Chains A and B, each alone.
Chain A
């Protein structure tokens, strides 16, 4: 079982977590002025990165909080977790 490091509770088993899709998707600041393309981008289009990917996760069966995680989509390894609203930490390129 994967151990995911909740920024609020510490290391916990993956069963307690729910995946929340791509992180850092920003809603148009002025919704009325956003074009159809902006909405398309915001609502539907998501990256499908091979490698390090920033995702939202929720500690659904624990503290209930959303947070962000950097996960390598090829190895399923969690490289870092950080609180919502924070910038993703730098990941060393020569990581194992």
Chain B
């Protein structure tokens, strides 16, 4: 649980629009098509090939952030076993696999106003048409970089670098003051 989320809870967190998500194991993976195939088999999630799409199988997820860049998210308990397993599967294929578990923290923004809340600081068009379920991308929330993943019609997973999490959460809370009571 990120300290920033615990120490200064935003005033309207109790309403449930913002939920801190449990700690996770994260990897930043980059590689060509051979490495992508090998990793898909070992990881158990076929890495998406369409731009800005996420795929998940059970508790594991893979987010395509760029043409050769993926963010892998798995339960925290798998951290110790996953790294050597993936490294073995990739072998000598050219790739980069970096564990970034503690670089960022995740929280869910949800409910009927989720889109509106994120839209208050994110310049993307978050309507269901241009930003459908399963779409993920890096973007900005005000001045902080976030990774945004739409997991449902009114549910988003937001990943922010841990030192920026307080900034993101409190600006969201500030926008939430405008929500109808």
Contact = CB atoms under 8 A, between A and B. Distances in A.
B67 interface: yes
A54 B15 CA distance: 50
Interface string A16-34: 1000000000000000000
Contact of A65 (B66, B124, B139, B145): B66
Nearest to B137: A62
Nearest to A62: B138
Interface in A28-65: 61-65
A64 B69 CA distance: 9
Contacts, number: 37
Q: Which of A15, A16, A63 has the most CB of B within 10 A?
A: A63
Contacts of A8: 51, 66-67
A91 interface: no
Interface of B: 51-52, 65-67, 69, 123-124, 137-140, 145
Interface of A: 1, 8-10, 12-13, 15-16, 61-65
